[in-house]
Amino acid sequence: MEGLEWFPITGESSTWLDHPFIEEEVRLAVFQLNKDKALCLDGFTIAVYKERWDVMKEAL
């Protein structure tokens, strides 16, 4: 990491990064993913999360 320049984030950016996720943000992110990929090590593909969002959202 030698030679890299680091720039601190602003207080406003820090506050935004610390805000809790809301369900709609997570849903939008999941539904933009390729359905054939696995989201976690549980082996469920994104297609499963999309098709059964009402149940699977709790796992995230």
pTM of the model as a whole = 0.64
Residues 6 or more apart whose CB falls under 8 angstroms from that of 23 comprise 57
Number of Cβ within 10 Å of residue 49's Cβ equals: 23
Tell me, what's the pLDDT at 31?
94
Q: What is the mean pLDDT of residues 35-58?
A: 87
Is the pLDDT at 2 greater than 90, yes or no?
no
Q: Where are the domains of the chain?
A: 34-60
Q: pLDDT digit string (tens) for 12-43? A: 999 989 989 899 999 999 999 999 888 777 88
